[in-house]
A and B are shown apart, each in its own frame.
Chain A
């Protein structure tokens, strides 16, 4: 589904990703872990199409097509979703209108008719229940005045509404209490299927108690320094990132 080969990315002349390779197949859940500043969020942003970053070399293929050629909206329409680490507040744009526009743009892309008002509302209710989001939140402006936890839940709500093929969750767990964490995990697990894939980016092992990954990768100084099964996360939890640093030195 997603094939990243030797991806090098910089911002303002400073190299952040120094050759990342990763392959994600349908049905898989990958966790990318790493200390602050290792390039986790940069990777997520580049995949979603943020133009602040410059791709110096390497390639990214998604569903067999060159992902880096496409605009952010094209990527979204083809089923890629980014759950933001810091969701943006947009005063004046209502959640409902936003979601309706987004869903219908995607349907148009797939050659489908727009969702009827009643079908849309039905879907809205269904997904709201799934992520236990306060029903008043969808009536408000996008993320405006939402608490940190509400914003993160809202990301998962949007993911549930848009039903992506590949979801990239950028530190969706940070700043969440254990209850909110469970809600987020439930949202992700619900979406899990043989056709879909998820990349969970996280700093802590905690989230991985609830979203069991098939693969864990450790990103360090712009490179994936280790890959393994879910036990790698536990090892990392036990030994800390200092262990990665040591390993790096020993290499």
Chain B
């Protein structure tokens, strides 16, 4: 079979898959999501798959991660298990409202939609699109739909479910909402989920997404998050990527910010064989503020790629990108940070920095800032560094009796902490500090005796 598929382009494989399975896909989703599929498949046909070496995908070899023969499930396949028995979260004791995604589908623990204090709604996107069609319909595919990335169209055509979170006007969510996104299967598997987070004017939300894989199979996720931050709303969104190194993860995040809103979105990449994060932000109203943060700790053959695009579409906005990483062994990665300041976006403040520590000669990192500025009264800066651990600092610590290994860890941790301290949720900061510390020490728990050698 593989000899046949190799000759057919990825695009054509998925077009044909769609033709064969469209009925099943729609039957196990919701009308509102189904409405977008045909158009998305036409877009995919037109755009195709990203090609390595292209402007947006210079170093990421997307085709290679799709090449494996991965199973795709569109039926209503229930994985039944007691989550607490098999999964121990490495973000311990964080008091959250917990939602589960299993293989791209909302895990029904008795409630498809949870109604939380203050009128906050959290649960299955497919169900929410039936229960709250006005809200979902107003935002669904509105921010991601115009994307020129074939992978986004692919997601829109195939995604059946995901997480929906809604915080009404002026409401502050007390507890963080935690989404645990799990891949678990008896086969190599591909899944595509779709999330929609909406914070109405003046609302405040804290959301944590934890990506995990719980069986030793090859996984591929192609997910899309759409985030709407209303006027004066504040969202703190943290994603912790900790799938095993046999998995590939492509995430697309489209955030739309209205006037005076504040979105702090962090991606902490700990494990995962291939990770590509596309982060698109539109600052659509004055005095909107965006912090896009990233921390990646990669070793062995991990590949980590962050692509950030901040669109300053309004005057007086602020954006800051801070991406830092430590690459060990023969790990490789890429950072591409783009700032677009439109002609009317005067008084823009936009900053970007990407700092990397390469621990070996074999580790590779590509860093590329792109500033596109059409307004004349703006403050923009960018900086990129590649380096090793500071020998002078290392000697200073060792000269006080700190072992070399410990001294190296202290310096790496200090380097990473700059990103973490920008995640302004104190409780979360401490836990991520702890996770990062464990990751650097190689003590991060292997997921349930997983055969994949991440640690």
Give the shortest distance, in Å, between B404 (CB) and chain A (any CB). Answer: 7
What class of interface size applies to chain B in its complex with A?
20 to 34
| Complex contact B414–A72 (CB within 8 A) | no
Out of B393, B400, B415, B417, name the residue touching A76 (CB < 8 Å): B400
One digit per residue, 1 when the CB lies within 8 angstroms of any chain B CB and 0 when it does not, for chain A 34-45 equals 000000000000
| Complex contact A92–B415 (CB within 8 A) | yes
Task: Give chain A interface residues in 86-126, CB to chain B under 8 Å.
Answer: 87-88, 90-93, 97-98, 101-102, 105-106, 109
| Complex contact A91–B401 (CB within 8 A) | no
- The yes or no answer to B70 lying at the interface (CB within 8 A) is no
Give the shortest distance, in Å, between A33 (CB) and chain B (any CB). Answer: 23
- The yes or no answer to B76 lying at the interface (CB within 8 A) is no
Interface centre among B413, B414, B418, by most A CB within 10 Å? Answer: B414
Smallest CB gap from A103: residue in B: B401
Give the shortest distance, in Å, between B402 (CB) and chain A (any CB). Answer: 6
A128 to B237, CA, bound (A): 41
Smallest CB gap from B412: residue in A: A92
Out of B401, B404, B407, B418, name the residue touching A109 (CB < 8 Å): B401
| Complex contact B414–A76 (CB within 8 A) | no
Give the residues in chain A near B418, CB-CB below 8 Å. Answer: 91-92
| Complex contact A98–B397 (CB within 8 A) | yes
Please classify the interface of chain B as helix (H, G, I), strand (E, B), loop, or mixed, using the class held by over half of its residues: helix
- Tally of A interface residues using CB under 8 Å: 29
Give the shortest distance, in Å, between B445 (CB) and chain A (any CB). Answer: 24
Give the residues in chain A near B392, CB-CB below 8 Å. Answer: 88
| Complex contact A72–B415 (CB within 8 A) | no
Out of A50, A76, A88, name the residue touching B401 (CB < 8 Å): A76
| Complex contact A73–B396 (CB within 8 A) | no
Task: Give chain B interface residues in 374-411, CB to chain A under 8 Å.
Answer: 390, 392-393, 395-404, 406-407, 410-411
Which residues of B does A touch, CB under 8 Å? 390, 392-393, 395-404, 406-407, 410-411, 413-415, 417-418
Contacts A73-B402, A84-B396, A101-B406 aside, 11 further interface pairs with beta carbons under 8 A come to: A48-B399, A71-B398, A75-B399, A76-B398, A88-B393, A92-B414, A93-B411, A93-B413, A93-B414, A101-B402, A105-B402
Q: Pull 5 A–B residue pairs with CB atoms less than 8 Å apart, ordered by A.
A: A50-B395, A72-B399, A73-B398, A81-B399, A158-B400
